[in-house]
C-alpha cells in the first residue's frame, strides 16, 4: 500500500510539474503577444532586434530554403501527377498536388526548417543569457528583457515562418502548373479556377492561422525552455534538448489539430 501511495505521489508530482511547465509556456507566449500588440513597445531598440531576427531567420536562409522547397515540391508533384495518371485521375493531379503541398506539407516543413535552424539557436542563446545572468544585467540597466529580447524574437519568428511559407507555397503552385501543363499560358484560366476552388476564405484563414501558430511555437517554446535552465553551464544542452523535443511535439500537434479541423 505504501509503495502504491509513493508511486501515485510520484506520478502526481510529475503530472503537476508537466502541467506547470506548459502553463509557464502559455503564460510566456501570452505575455509576448500582449507586448507585441502594445504600440508603445516598438521603440528603436526593439525594432532593430525584430529586423535582425527576420534577417537571420528568413532572409539569410532564403536562397537555400527556396531551392529545397522547389526540389521537394517538384519531386512530390511528379509523384502525384504520375500516380494520378496511372489511376486515370489526371484531371485531379493539379488540385491534389497543391492541396498536399501548399495546405499541408510546406507549412509544416517550413516550421521544421526554421525550428532546426533558428529555434535551436534561440534556445541556446536564451539559455546562455539566463545562465550568465545577462538578462538580470539588462533588467538592472532598465532594459526590459521581455520587450528587448523576447518579444522581438517572437514577432521576427512569426513573420519569418509566415513569409517563408507564403513564398514556398507560391513557388510550389507555379511548379505544379509547369509540371501539369508545361510552360504554356493557355491553361491559366483552368489553373485560376483550381486555385479559387482550393483557396476558399476558410482555407486561407486556416493556412494563415496555422503558419502563425507555427511561427509562435518555434520561438516561444525554445525561449521558455532556455529560461527554465538552472543557472549552471552544463544544463544548457539539456535545456536545448528539452526545448526542441517540446517544439517538435507542438508542431505535430498543431498540424494534427489543423488536419482534424479541416478534414474531420
Partner 1 sequence: MTWLEDAAARARVLEAQPQAALVSAELPLRANLSVLENIAIVPQFRLNLSYDQAADAAWALLARLGLTDCAFKRDPSLDCVERFGAKLLRAVIGRPPIILIDRPALLLPDIHYPPHLESVLQRLADLIEQCRILDYVWNAPLYAPR
State which residue, 27 or 132, has the beta carbon closest to partner 1. 132
Q: Select the residue interacting with partner 1 from 31, 144, 159, 262 (CB under 8 A).
A: 144
Q: Which stretch binds partner 1 (CB under 8 A): 62-70, 126-134, 181-189, 213-221?
A: 126-134
Burial (CB count <10 Å: 0-12, 13-18, 19+), residue 177: buried
The minimum distance between CB 96 and partner 1, in angstroms, equals 46
Smallest CA-to-CA distance from 222 within 145, 153, 161, 162 is with: 153
Is residue 147 within the footprint of partner 1 (CB under 8 A)?
yes
The minimum distance between CB 48 and partner 1, in angstroms, equals 6
Handedness of CA 50, 56, 61, 63 (dihedral sign): positive
Query: What part of residues 210-229 is at the interface with partner 1 (CB under 8 A)?
Result: none
Q: Which stretch binds partner 1 (CB under 8 A): 23-31, 41-49, 70-78, 256-264?
A: 41-49
Is residue 183 within the footprint of partner 1 (CB under 8 A)?
no
User: DSSP characters for 118-177?
Assistant: IIHHHHHHHHHHHHTTHHHHHHHTT--HIIIIIHHHHHHHHHHHHHHHHHHHHHHHHHHH
Is residue 184 within the footprint of partner 1 (CB under 8 A)?
no
Smallest CA-to-CA distance from 160 within 102, 202, 119, 221 is with: 119
DSSP-derived secondary structure letter, 90: G
Is residue 141 within the footprint of partner 1 (CB under 8 A)?
yes
Query: What part of residues 53-82 is at the interface with partner 1 (CB under 8 A)?
Result: none
Q: Select the residue interacting with partner 1 from 92, 104, 134, 166 (CB under 8 A).
A: 134
Count Cβ atoms below 10 Å from residue 184 Cβ, excluding itself: 9
State which residue, 2 or 141, has the beta carbon closest to partner 1. 141
The minimum distance between CB 29 and partner 1, in angstroms, equals 22
Burial (CB count <10 Å: 0-12, 13-18, 19+), residue 263: exposed
Is residue 138 within the footprint of partner 1 (CB under 8 A)?
yes
- Tell me the site size for partner 1, rule CB under 8 A: 21
Binding site for partner 1 (CB under 8 A): 43-46, 48, 125, 128-129, 132-134, 136-138, 140-144, 147-148
Amino acid at each position: 500500500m505504501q509503495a502504491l501511495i509513493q508511486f501515485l505521489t510520484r506520478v502526481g508530482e510529475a503530472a503537476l510539474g508537466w502541467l506547470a511547465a506548459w502553463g509557464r509556456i502559455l503564460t510566456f507566449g501570452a505575455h509576448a503577444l500582449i507586448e507585441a500588440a502594445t504600440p508603445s513597445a516598438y521603440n528603436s531598440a526593439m525594432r532593430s532586434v525584430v529586423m535582425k531576427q527576420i534577417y537571420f531567420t528568413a532572409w539569410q536562409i532564403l536562397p537555400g530554403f527556396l531551392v529545397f522547397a522547389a526540389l521537394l515540391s517538384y519531386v512530390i508533384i511528379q509523384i502525384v501527377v504520375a500516380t494520378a495518371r496511372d489511376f486515370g485521375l489526371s484531371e485531379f493531379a493539379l488540385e491534389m498536388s497543391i492541396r498536399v503541398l501548399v495546405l499541408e506539407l510546406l507549412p509544416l516543413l517550413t516550421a521544421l526548417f526554421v525550428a532546426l535552424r533558428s529555434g535551436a539557436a534561440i534556445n541556446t542563446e536564451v539559455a546562455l543569457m539566463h545562465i550568465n545572468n545577462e538578462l538580470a544585467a539588462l533588467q538592472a540597466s532598465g532594459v526590459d528583457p521581455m520587450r528587448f529580447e523576447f518579444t522581438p524574437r517572437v514577432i521576427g519568428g512569426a513573420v519569418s515562418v509566415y513569409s517563408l511559407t507564403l513564398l514556398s507555397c507560391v513557388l510550389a503552385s507555379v511548379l505544379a502548373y509547369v509540371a501539369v501543363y508545361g510552360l504554356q499560358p493557355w491553361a491559366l484560366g483552368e489553373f485560376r479556377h483550381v486555385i479559387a476552388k482550393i483557396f476558399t476564405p476558410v482555407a486561407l484563414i486556416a493556412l494563415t492561422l496555422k503558419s502563425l501558430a507555427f511561427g509562435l511555437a518555434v520561438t516561444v517554446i525554445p525561449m521558455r525552455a532556455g529560461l527554465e535552465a538552472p543557472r549552471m553551464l552544463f544544463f544548457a544542452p539539456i535545456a536545448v534538448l528539452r526545448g526542441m523535443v517540446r517544439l517538435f511535439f507542438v508542431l505535430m500537434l498543431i498540424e494534427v489539430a489543423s488536419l482534424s479541423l479541416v478534414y474531420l
